[in-house]
A and B are shown apart, each in its own frame.
Chain A
Amino acid sequence: MEASSLSAIWLTLKLASLVTVLLLLVGTPIAWWLSRTSSRWKGAVGAVVALPLVLPPTVIGFYLLLFMGPHGPVGKITQALGWGVLPFSFTGLVVASVFYSLPFVVQPIQNAFEAVGERPLEVAASLRASPWDAFFSIALPLARPGFVTAAILGFAHTVGEFGVVLMIGGNIPGKTQVLSVQIYDYVEAMEYGQAHILAAGMVIFSFLVLLALYGRRAYKGWSR
């Protein structure tokens, strides 16, 4: 295996891990709110969260390139803050991936929270637990399987991301050249041997991830 392949694997794992952690932090309050609220904005927020499920990566990549670029609204803010522009940077990939993988994390957690229901929290409240206490000692532990599913899906989906990264990454080794892009490069350059090593590795990895997911589900049932 070439050094650039190893660096792509490392970069991909780093990206997916960081994105998964961020998504759990960002996704949990969104999922909690979506599972509890009766606000008229619930539908709209749910739809925005689910957008990346249906939008082609080209649409997301194209708009991120424009919005985060030097003439875009996000780009102007990041430049004013002295961060430069986000495309072609690892930070840019993180931001893009958080948006792109959001539904894969929010939805399982939301389902798990909804499955917990009101009752255990009402009981906790009647025993004088504060809302925070009830959340951390009742809701979170009960929703744990949903979090495991969310983490696995968020991680795997980020590893498998291609179109968005291709459009905003700029293919910089060690910074934005992730596995999927590296495989594409090898195929285009007709280096099929190198492509096979990584591509076959991806198939095996993805199978193991899904096995972990569905194996668990078969054993315990869906998200409980």
Chain B
Amino acid sequence: MSLNFRKPSILAAASFALVTLCWQARADEVQVAVAANFTAPMKAIAAEFEKDTGHKVTASFGATGAFYTQISNGAPFDVFLAADDSTPIKLEKEQGIVPGSRFTYAIGTLVLWSGKEGYLDDKGKVLKKGDFEHLSIANPKTAPYGKAAIETLTRLELLESLQAKFVQGENITQAYQFVSTGNAELGFVALSQVYKDGKITGGSAWIVPANLYESIRQDAVILTRGSNNPAAHALVDYLKGSKAVAIIKSYGYGL
């Protein structure tokens, strides 16, 4: 069958297809590795970013340590939103990032959370009583929120007495999952997982005072692979903008 371009309808369809293709080619795609605790805000920010800029975001969520290993072995990420600042600094030293692109996009808040209403008081006294079987934490070796949980318990002088009750999630998402399925009565999770627009979304929680743990600075970087990707730079700029900052704060992060 030969195309007859004199027919106006076919011509219109062909030019529409061409225009669509050109528009798609101009919109770039950015691949982002995102720390698990930042899942919910990232999804909200990505939706706004795509609407405002026309670029496309493909986000992978996971543990910061695992992403580090993948990135140093050639994983195709343009931007990395870590759960700490030490991993991005490490990548910076190993020259895996665009120089000067590292910045703190959020400061994490640790919370002791239970799926049961009224189980936790605003002082975390439940920890001293210890009448529970399992306390869920993220792996302190790999997850910053796990490390913060250990620091908190150390300051409260409860680490030794509670250690036997620890169950460890590989990342903060799994630590949350153990509590949300009821398998652990309570656990240290990221405030962003249980918080939306100024209040706890379910169960009960004790927001751990900031003086009990070292602040969780979460840094973002543009990776070497993203240096020539306009969408990568646009996303990082967008993260610093007022719209993104408002979203980040609404999930309980400091900045």
Which residues of B sit under 8 angstroms from A188, Cβ to Cβ? Answer: 63, 65-66, 69, 139, 141-142, 170
**Can you name 18 A-B pairs with beta carbons within 8 Å?**
A69-B182, A70-B183, A85-B183, A88-B183, A166-B170, A170-B167, A170-B184, A172-B166, A172-B167, A172-B168, A188-B65, A188-B69, A188-B139, A188-B141, A188-B170, A189-B141, A190-B68, A190-B69
Q: Is A217 an interface residue (CB 8 A)?
A: no
Interface centre among A85, A171, A188, A190 (most CB of B within 10 A): A188
**Contact-size category for A:** 20 to 34
Contact with B along A182-211 (1 / 0, CB 8 A): 001101111000000000000000000000
Contact A187 B69 (CB under 8 A): yes
Please count how many residues in chain B sit with their CB below 8 Å of the partner chain's CB atoms. 23
Q: A172-B168, A190-B65 are in contact. Are A185 and B182 (CB under 8 A)?
A: no
Contact status of A170 and B181, CB under 8 A, knowing A188-B66, A190-B65:
no
Asked whether, in the complex, the Cβ of B69 is within 8 Å of the Cβ of A185, the reply is no
A175 to B79, CA, bound (A): 38
Q: Residue of B at shortest CB range from A171?
A: B168
Enumerate chain B residues within 8 angstroms of A189, measured Cβ to Cβ. Answer: 65, 141-142
Q: Does A142 belong to the interface (CB within 8 Å)? A: no
**Binary flags per residue of A70-112, CB closer than 8 Å to B gives 1, else 0:** 1100000000000011011000000000000000000000000
Given A188-B63, A189-B141, verify A171-B181 contact (CB < 8 Å).
no
Interface residues as binary, A149-187 with B (CB distance below 8 Å gives 1, 0 otherwise): 000000000000000001100111000000000001101
Contacts of B182 in A (CB 8 A): 69-71
B139 close to A170 (CB less than 8 A): no
Closest to B164 in A: A172
Chain B residues within an 8 Å CB radius of A184: 170
Q: Which residue of B lies closest to A187 (CB)?
A: B69
| Interface status of B178 (Cβ within 8 A of chain A) | yes
Say yes or no for B134: interface residue by CB 8 A criterion: yes
Within the complex, the shortest CB–CB distance from A155 to chain B, in Å, comes to: 25
Question: CA of A184 to CA of B139 in the docked complex: distance in angstroms?
Answer: 12
> Could you say which residues of chain A place their CB within 8 Å of the CB of B48?
none
The distance from the CB of A92 to the nearest CB of chain B, in whole angstroms, is 10
Q: Is A65 an interface residue (CB 8 A)?
A: yes
B133 partner, pick from A69, A84, A185, beta carbons under 8 A: A84
Given contacts A166-B170, A188-B142, A189-B142, contact A69 B69 (CB under 8 A): no
CA gap between A65 and B177 in the complex, in Å: 10
Question: Which residue of B is nearest A191, CB measured?
Answer: B141
Within 8 A of A (CB), among B134-176: 134, 136, 139, 141-142, 166-170, 174
Identify the interface centre among B166, B182, B184: most chain A CB within 10 Å of its CB.
B182
**CB-CB < 8 A to A213: which residues of B?**
none
On whether the beta carbons of A65 and B66 are closer than 8 Å, the reply is no
